[in-house]
Amino acid sequence: MRERERHHDDIRGPQLPAPAVDSGAVREAAERLLAQGTDAIDRALSGNSTAFLAATRQEGGQ
Amino acid sequence: MAERLFGVETEYALTAIGARGQSLDRAPIAEAVMHLARTTLPCLPDEFSGGMFLQNGARFYVDVGLHPECTTPEVSNPWDAVRYVQAGERLLLCLATAVAAKRRAGQLLLMRCNVDYGGMQSTWGCHESYMHRADPRAMPKQIVPHLVSRLIYTGAGGFDNRSGGVEFMLSPRVAHMTSEVSGESTHNRGIFHTKDEPLCRGGYHRLHILCGESLCSELAAWLKLGTTALVVAMTEAGLSPGEEVQLRTPVIAMRMFAQDPTCTAVAESPGGKRLSAINIQRHYLSLAEAHVGDAFMPPWAGEVCRQWRAVLDRLQGGPQAVATTLDWAIKLALFKEHVRRRGFVWESLPLWTEVARRLAAAPARTPHREQPLAAELVLGNNSPVAGEVTHLAPLMRANGLSWNCFGPFLNLRQELFEIDMRFGQLGDTGIFAALDASGALSHHVAGVENIEDAIERPPDVPRARRRGELIRQLSGEQERYSCDWLGVWDRQLGRIIDLSDPFAIASEWKECSDDDLGPLRGLPARVREHLALLRVRGRRVAPF
């Protein structure tokens, strides 16, 4: 593994104001997520979730 | 700058589903996966767990509840922690795929989910270990507020699996944390786990955290390890990082934080201060930033602080600001959309959950209590809860709910649970994996790469490196040699290569006996346990 470069960073001051959020970019990303998510979910669902959950029942671990 | 060592143990849900959708017995499947690993991977057996150590220094075995568990080797930075978790997952998936193909076992699924939705109401873990020299008695007070509040970026997202309705939680495992401090791991779990088995010499302690969850987001996993390692470092340095953010009732606070996607819920301190999860996290962060250049801090502290600050800033913008980055927020967006597609309003789910709760609790259901709630049972002519249905009518009417939607609500509940399980499914068909491949997410951490190398090679930590070398060298003689965290054992000649010092590279075989440990004098009691185990199993060791 490569040796990771070590940095000594400047000590940060008091809390900075929250950065401005590009709401347009956030909205676009959300739309993309939902569009892709809908496809992914439709492909993944078994069509009988009750049976799936019964079949995937898990005992407790640690 | 100080070297910090930590590691992750991840338990996975293993399921085998036959061609007709039936559940197959998991025990022979788990054993087949182990057998394939044992016979095809460079490895040495681990006498204690029944599993094995691999050439990358990791451990692999099947834990209680038939959960395959991958334990990373000791790592010294959060990039490697995430890399080695991913390496373990790729290896496990590879083995499972091969077993499934060989046995024609239908579907063989491995999932990162940490709670069961099939009626067992069970949970299993993703544990973290942090090596430290702090007084273990001082640790709970300093770290519990961090563990309670970090779920705003470390939460896997999901549902309270003990609820009869649909109750979203940032961290579903929180529902199973029933005390602040506990030594138990399979019941009565505590936010702080008192287990302190160092697995090394040198006066170190091992902080073992079991309230965390398996995560898909690289950034979330990276932050989980990086921030917690810094909190441990600050505690060890005597800074008392948790002193000013104590919580009056940590278990209640944790549940409150876990139920609030806005991250604005507040909990009280013993002195009456009102603290949100973000407030608490900013306190720890500020302290870390103030000491980032100190000798006790690891060299990567600055980068963790930068990312830590960035994620807290984003969280102040609400869940939509992290909806492509953090596990719980991605899931929340998907769940809400799915609810909408099924004709429900997300905000109506608490009401439906209340309806389900009251029906489930209705005394007339007592003979039927073991049966899952079903619309046909509740609304049928011979309903055992007809009285409660009548009693609920005003609530339903006042909130615009219709009994016609009760059956669809129960179906929706099951679908949401399946979506949660499928989200963390290993392999390309998992929902998270599919989203990642489509480019819809932004969770990667620069530097978490070269996973193939992590599958084969140990991290740059002396004893992990030495363990890996020895395993590669000796794996052809599994009858003779075994391995555990403390060393590699030659059962035939009763010798050990001592790996109990994490920072030393041991190279010589040493004789070991109980009466005179010679160079091994002072090793933890586990050495004696191992010798006793070998004697019981009839392996030749030097006489006691």
Q: How many CB pairs under 8 A join A and B?
A: 206
**What does the pLDDT read at residue B505?**
83
* Average of per-residue pLDDT across B456-470: 96
**What does the pLDDT read at residue B107?**
85
Q: Report the C-alpha gap between B435 and B126 in whole angstroms.
A: 23
CB-based contact, B340 to chain A, within 8 Å: no
Q: Report the C-alpha gap between B483 and B487 in whole angstroms.
A: 6
Give alpha helix (H) positions in B104-246.
139-149, 151-154, 218-236
- Chain B residues whose CB is inside 8 A of the A10 CB are 302
Q: Is B509 helix (H, G, I), strand (E, B) or coil?
A: strand
For residue B214, pLDDT over 90 is answered with yes
Give alpha helix (H) positions in B76-217.
78-103, 139-149, 151-154
Confidence of residue B401 (pLDDT cuts 50, 70, 90): very high
Q: Which of B11, B173, B418, B436 to mutate to test the interface with A (most CBs of A within 10 A)?
A: B418
**What does the pLDDT read at residue A20?**
59
CB-based contact, A7 to chain B, within 8 Å: yes
Residues of chain B with pLDDT > 70, as a percent, come to 93
CB-based contact, A12 to chain B, within 8 Å: yes
Confidence of residue A4 (pLDDT cuts 50, 70, 90): very low
**What does the pLDDT read at residue A62?**
80
**What does the pLDDT read at residue B20?**
79
- Chain B residues whose CB is inside 8 A of the A26 CB are 317, 320-321, 323
Contact B301 A9 (CB under 8 A): yes
Better-predicted residue by pLDDT, B519 or A60:
A60
ipTM score of complex: 0.90
Lowest mean pLDDT of B46-60, B241-255, B359-373, name the range. Answer: B359-373
**What does the pLDDT read at residue B209?**
97
Q: What is the pTM of this model?
A: 0.92
Tell how many helices (H) and how many strands (E) occur in chain A.
2, 0
* Average of per-residue pLDDT across B313-325: 96
**What does the pLDDT read at residue B18?**
84
**What does the pLDDT read at residue A21?**
64
Q: CA dihedral in degrees (A16, A22, A26, A27; nearest 10)?
A: 140
**What does the pLDDT read at residue B526?**
56
**What does the pLDDT read at residue A2?**
34
Q: Report the C-alpha gap between A49 and B417 in whole angstroms.
A: 8
For residue B115, pLDDT over 70 is answered with yes
* Average of per-residue pLDDT across B382-387: 89
Contact B440 A51 (CB under 8 A): no
Q: CA dihedral in degrees (B250, B252, B253, B256; nearest 10)?
A: 160
Strand partners, B105: none
For residue B378, pLDDT over 80 is answered with yes
**What does the pLDDT read at residue B532?**
61
Q: Is the Cβ–Cβ distance between B68 and B36 less than 8 Å?
A: no
The pLDDT tens digits of the residues spanning A6-60 come to 333 322 223 344 455 678 888 899 999 999 999 999 999 999 999 999 999 888 8
Contact B120 A58 (CB under 8 A): yes
**What does the pLDDT read at residue B371?**
72
Confidence of residue B513 (pLDDT cuts 50, 70, 90): low
Q: Report the C-alpha gap between B525 and B527 in whole angstroms.
A: 5
Query: For residue B136, is it left (φ>0), alpha (ψ between -120 and 50) or beta?
Result: alpha
Of B159, B345, B72, B334, nearest in space to A40 by CA: B334
- Chain A residues whose CB is inside 8 A of the B120 CB are 57-60
**What does the pLDDT read at residue A40?**
97
The pLDDT tens digits of the residues spanning B419-429 come to 999 999 999 99
CB-based contact, A28 to chain B, within 8 Å: no
Of B335, B251, B244, nearest in space to B281 by CA: B244
* Average of per-residue pLDDT across B193-213: 92
The pLDDT tens digits of the residues spanning B133-156 come to 999 999 999 999 999 999 999 999
Q: Report the C-alpha gap between B304 and B310 in whole angstroms.
A: 10
**What does the pLDDT read at residue A1?**
35
Q: Report the C-alpha gap between B313 and A20 in whole angstroms.
A: 9
Helix axes B277-290, B139-149, angle to 10 degrees: 120
Q: Tell me, what DSSP letter sits at residue A18? A: P
Contact B65 A61 (CB under 8 A): yes
Residues of chain B with pLDDT > 90, as a percent, come to 78
Which residues, in sequence order, are CB contacts of B512 under 8 Å at separation 6+? B494, B495, B496, B518, B520, B527, B531, B541, B542
Of B312, B356, B13, nearest in space to B158 by CA: B13
Confidence of residue B103 (pLDDT cuts 50, 70, 90): confident
Confidence of residue B536 (pLDDT cuts 50, 70, 90): low
CB-based contact, B317 to chain A, within 8 Å: yes
Q: Is B276 helix (H, G, I), strand (E, B) or coil?
A: strand
Report residue B343 as tokens. Answer: 């004709």
Q: Report the C-alpha gap between B326 and B22 in whole angstroms.
A: 33
Q: Across chain B, what does the average pLDDT equal? A: 92
The pLDDT tens digits of the residues spanning B10-37 come to 999 999 988 877 888 999 999 999 999 9
Closest-CA residue in chain A for B454? A1
Query: Within the 346-405 window of chain B, which residues sit less than 8 Å (CB to CB) from chain A?
Result: 372
- Chain B residues whose CB is inside 8 A of the A30 CB are 320, 323-324, 333
β-strands B158-159, B168-169: how paired?
Answer: antiparallel
| Integer Rg of chain A from CA | 22
For residue B396, pLDDT over 60 is answered with yes
* Average of per-residue pLDDT across B441-460: 97
Q: Report the C-alpha gap between A3 and B494 in whole angstroms.
A: 37
**What does the pLDDT read at residue B104?**
73
Distance to chain A for B65, nearest Cα, Å: 5
Q: Report the C-alpha gap between B59 and B88 in whole angstroms.
A: 9
* Average of per-residue pLDDT across B532-537: 56
Query: Within the 196-255 window of chain B, which residues sit less than 8 Å (CB to CB) from chain A?
Result: 210
Confidence of residue B518 (pLDDT cuts 50, 70, 90): very low
* Sign of the CA dihedral with B325 first, then B56, B61, and A52 last: positive
Write a three-state SS string for B54-70: ECCCCEEEEECCCEEEE
CB-based contact, A48 to chain B, within 8 Å: yes
Of B524, B536, B529, B534, nearest in space to B205 by CA: B524
Q: Is B483 helix (H, G, I), strand (E, B) or coil?
A: strand
Report residue B481 as tokens. Answer: 């040699």
For residue B240, pLDDT over 90 is answered with yes
Better-predicted residue by pLDDT, B446 or B374:
B446
**What does the pLDDT read at residue A11?**
24
* Average of per-residue pLDDT across B441-457: 97
Q: Which residues of B10-24 are buried (b: 16+ CB within 10 A; e: fewer)?
A: bbbbbbbbeeeeebb
CB-based contact, A62 to chain B, within 8 Å: yes
Lowest mean pLDDT of A1-15, B213-227, B382-396, name the range. Answer: A1-15
Contact A45 B415 (CB under 8 A): yes
CA distance readout (Å), B212 to B8, B176, B223: 10, 11, 12
- Residue where the block lists tokens 């990358």: B56
Better-predicted residue by pLDDT, B525 or B56:
B56
Give alpha helix (H) positions in B41-130.
78-103
Report residue B442 as tokens. Answer: 């932004």
